[in-house]
Chain A
């Protein structure tokens, strides 16, 4: 199960809507081993494409060095699909290289850049096997 706070959930959805019709991508880092997505990091889609995303290689190195220095890991890796359902594609599965991460897929096919609900789903992807998991959005702490 993925537990994620409302503010982070909202930030992911807002990013996906803003970048529609291109795919949006990013991560939520958290303390190593904690499974708590705490630090939202929006990434640039270097592919700038409606059907593909890729972190820029320099940004990627910077991100991982930063996480290393903070004893963090990528707890959530998110991206959007803008014309298809929020389910990992063959490409997503083949390129999933973080066995400990929750892979979050958001689909903006319904409302695009406009307000309205999105599909927001989460998966584990390990060795080509996809397992969907429950997403529990927790209210922001007062």
Chain B
């Protein structure tokens, strides 16, 4: 068993075009580290090293359809069979953020 992770178009350059990859970890942070091992470069697109390694503001990650921001963020615990979805925010606007 493993954790299934859906990868958005923009990050498929790190997964050889795969839409779904598998990884493992007991927390989201652990899963991201595991993904980084098999898909180098992906971690930097998910977490912001300049902001203490927190999740990037404009990347949404869901565990079993729940936004991880409501599950403890990187601390969110995972178990085998969980479904993780990564989706970049659709956002913008006329003024600088």
Residues of chain A whose beta carbon lies under 8 Å from any beta carbon of chain B: 23, 25, 27, 43, 47, 49-55, 57-58, 60-61, 64, 73-74, 77, 79, 81-84, 88-92, 94-100
**Do B67 and A58 touch (CB < 8 A)?**
yes
Q: Hey, what's the 0/1 contact readout for B79-97 against A, CB within 8 Å counting as 1? A: 0000001011111111111
**Do A88 and B60 touch (CB < 8 A)?**
no
Answer whether A23 and B94 are a contact pair too, CB < 8 Å, given A60-B89, A61-B62, A64-B87.
yes
**Do A90 and B91 touch (CB < 8 A)?**
no
- Contact among B10, B85, B92 for A88, CB-based, below 8 A: B92
**Which of A77, A88, A97 has the most CB atoms of chain B within a 10 A radius of its CB?**
A97
**Do B97 and A91 touch (CB < 8 A)?**
yes
Closest 10 pairs (CB-CB, A-B)? A52-B93, A97-B88, A92-B92, A54-B91, A51-B95, A55-B90, A81-B94, A84-B94, A97-B10, A57-B67
Where chain A touches its partner, the secondary structure class is mixed
Residues of chain B whose beta carbon lies under 8 Å from any beta carbon of chain A: 8-10, 58, 60, 62, 65, 67, 69, 85, 87-97
Return the chain A residue nearest B97 by Cβ.
Answer: A91
A93 to B60, CA, bound (A): 18
- Contact among B67, B90, B96 for A91, CB-based, below 8 A: B96
A92 to B30, CA, bound (A): 31
A75 to B90, CA, bound (A): 13
**Do B89 and A57 touch (CB < 8 A)?**
yes
Q: Which residues of B contact A50 (CB under 8 A)?
A: 94
